[in-house]
Amino acid sequence: MAFSIFFAITVIVNLSYAVSKKTLHLFEIFFIWMVSNIIHHNFMTIFALNMEMINFNSNSTSYWTMALIRLFLIPILIIWYIDKTQDPKNKKIWKNLLILIPLLIGVEYLATLLDVYVFKKWNLLFSIIEWGAILLVITFLSTCFKNILRKELS
Amino acid sequence: MLPFPEQFNENEWFIILNTTLGFIWVLFLPKRYPHVISILMILLNVSIAIIMDHLIATPPLDLYDLNDLKKYEITDIITYLMYSPYALLCVYLFDKFNPKGIYITAYVLLWSLFALGFEWLAVFFNVFHFSGWTFLNSFAFYLFATSIYIVFYKFIRKHMNNSKYQKGMP
């Protein structure tokens, strides 16, 4: 059930982003997707393996659900957020952040509810700090990449 | 959070020397394409390595371990950069010699064999400890990964030639 629910959510989110008007260059989308994957995988492994704050369910459905969330759902939500913040007409950057962080935390807690993860020494505050830090790093790196891209393409 | 290695021995030296010398070597190559392409190629390489490692080298599969500790250590992060100079060199030489037809298959095969040899060295120096993973699995994976690099490189190169940063963009 967990896989079906997350697969449906992932398809809907990816499809909606694919058909929406984009501000980001294709290379920026690639860049953010890869950086989100790298940073999120590292954070999760540190929390799970080193700090033992999160446990991953060992059955294969949960395992593939976790892979789906990490590879295709979380990065696309972050890409969409950065895309919106780059839109010159958008004046509500902070409002977008207030939507995105609860959304990402919601994905995590839905995964817990469906037994994909088990939170051990984890609480809501850690989630807020985790996503705040991840978004800060990704936004900074994507701005640096945008400057290089703009210089080399123009 | 991120522990240091228990002992600084052959695996740490192998990783650090390989990464440092590899990047120095790549830096001295004459420029053939924009830096954004190199950045994307390095990121693709690191992403594939991290995604694979965190999916198959952690429970429930746990097919191999990296370095000294069962935990995620600082040297593990540098390990992900170890392959990047060779991935860059692979696309650099591909761009230079521009193989066509069956030579592309030969090129992919050659680099996969090189990567396999490199992995054998890494196993020899105790960077990887296999527990269910085999060199045959690695070879199959390197064939796939090298093909992905080349397809991705050709795609971004083509897209780079066709695209300009549009005026009015932020």
| A46-85 tens-digit pLDDT | 888 888 888 887 788 888 899 999 999 999 999 999 998 8
Answer whether A70's CB lies under 8 Å from B52's CB: no
| A4-45 tens-digit pLDDT | 999 999 999 999 999 998 899 999 999 999 999 999 999 988
C-alpha to C-alpha distance for B164 and A25, rounded to whole angstroms: 9
B56 reaches A (C-beta below 8 A): no
Q: Between A26, A63, A153, which is nearest B60 by CB?
A: A63
C-alpha to C-alpha distance for B93 and B76, rounded to whole angstroms: 28
- Mean pLDDT, rounded, for B134-160: 93
Does the pLDDT of residue B14 top 60, yes or no? yes
- What mean pLDDT value characterizes chain A? 90
Gap from A69 CA to chain B (nearest CA, Å): 12
pLDDT for res B169: 52
What stretches of A57-126 adopt beta strand conformation (E)?
Answer: 117-119
Chain B contact set for A35 (CB, 8 A): 43
C-alpha to C-alpha distance for B41 and A11, rounded to whole angstroms: 27
Q: Which helix (H) or strand (E) holds A55?
A: strand A54-56
The two tokens of residue A20 are 């929406």
Q: How many CA atoms lie within 13 A of B66 on its CB side?
A: 24
| B75-105 tens-digit pLDDT | 888 999 998 999 999 999 999 999 999 999 9
Q: What ipTM, to 2 d.p.?
A: 0.89
Q: Between B36, B58, B170, which is nearest A152 by CB?
A: B36
Judge residue A66's burial from the number of C-beta atoms within 10 Å of its C-beta, 0-12 exposed, 13-18 middle, 19 or more buried.
buried
Answer whether A32's CB lies under 8 Å from B39's CB: no
Q: How many A/B residue pairs have CB atoms within 8 Å?
A: 88
C-alpha to C-alpha distance for A23 and A95, rounded to whole angstroms: 18
